[in-house]
Amino acid sequence: MDLIEKINKAKEYIVEIDNSPINVGIILGTGLGTLADEIENKRIIKYEEIPGFPVSTVVGHAGELIIGELMGKKVLALNGRFHYYEGYDMETVTFPIRVMKALGIENMIVSNAAGGMNPSFEPGDLMIIEDHINFIGNNPLIGKNYDELGPRFPDMSNPYYKEYIKLVKECAMDLNIKIQQGVYVAISGPNYETSAELRMLRLIGGDAVGMSTVPEVIVANHMGMKVLGVSCITDMALGDSLEPLDHSKVVETANKAKGKFVTLIKEYIKRM
């Protein structure tokens, strides 16, 4: 089956369950899944039910697609994402974004947990992603281009929609939520970075580092979707003073910050 057929099969399955127009698609990062609890009148679809969807394997990722209402808007949330380090190919990692667009979704909110490389950040901060660096060593657009999905050589001059950055900053200001802004660097993982790697990633312009998001954002831009990206800074990834890190610490800090994440995103969706 080619990619287009696969997308259509997944789309048809979802449309059978709910076929009303959706305003925004949301990808919930590690520890940030509680936003899904706020969705009303919802239908929950397990990933394993959806044709073409693999099953997510990471702790803190539920593996559910949720369609419902949030702040008066119709939303589709992906609670759990697919990472390159899990061994999926890039087409699989980004497949849910292809399906979102096939469902008519033009706006995407992407979130993640990330290490803070900018020394002015603190664990628990939220960071608006203003730009990214793809340091994964692969690209989801390598291979046959489907012209019906997007161009062979997509523009990436504005991968995170400036109007939405402005809007989310206004929301943060009005809600008194401290917000950072910066460049997200994606690495493949699954190991966390060495001190030398972090010094390099900071030197090349990164403010935060993580193992996701960039493939999804590339594919969203390929299809002309408008993206807002928010990182939750869960630990300090400083080359000169690096402390041992494990996944439970990442989940723990994301859990502490999720309240303000949920408050901010709800306000943003309301004003969208």
The yes or no reply on residue 238 touching ligand HPA (CB under 6 A) is no
Q: Residue with CB nearest ligand HPA?
A: 115
Of these, 50, 94, 234, 267, which contacts ligand HPA (CB under 6 A)?
234
Q: Is 191 helix (H, G, I), strand (E, B) or coil?
A: coil
C-alpha distances (whole Å) from 36 to each of 97, 165, 201 are 18, 22, 33
Rounded CA gap, 30 and 139, in Å?
22
The yes or no reply on residue 86 touching ligand HPA (CB under 6 A) is no
Site for ligand HPA in 168-187 (CB under 6 A): none
- Pair of tokens at residue 54: 């693999």
Of these, 210, 215, 228, 242, which contacts ligand HPA (CB under 6 A)?
210
CB of 237 to ligand HPA, least distance (A): 4
The yes or no reply on residue 209 touching ligand HPA (CB under 6 A) is yes
The yes or no reply on residue 272 touching ligand HPA (CB under 6 A) is no
Nearer to ligand HPA, 94 or 231 (CB): 231
DSSP-assigned letter for residue 137: S
The yes or no reply on residue 110 touching ligand HPA (CB under 6 A) is no
CB of 186 to ligand HPA, least distance (A): 9
Q: Angle CA(152)–CA(154)–CA(159) in degrees, nearest 5?
A: 155
Measured between its terminal Cα atoms, the distance across the chain in Å is: 37
Residues 135 and 201 sit within 8 Å (Cβ to Cβ): yes
Rounded CA gap, 124 and 257, in Å?
5
Considering only 13-21, 85-93, 176-184, 203-211, which stretch makes contact with ligand HPA by CB under 6 A?
Answer: 203-211
CB of 14 to ligand HPA, least distance (A): 29
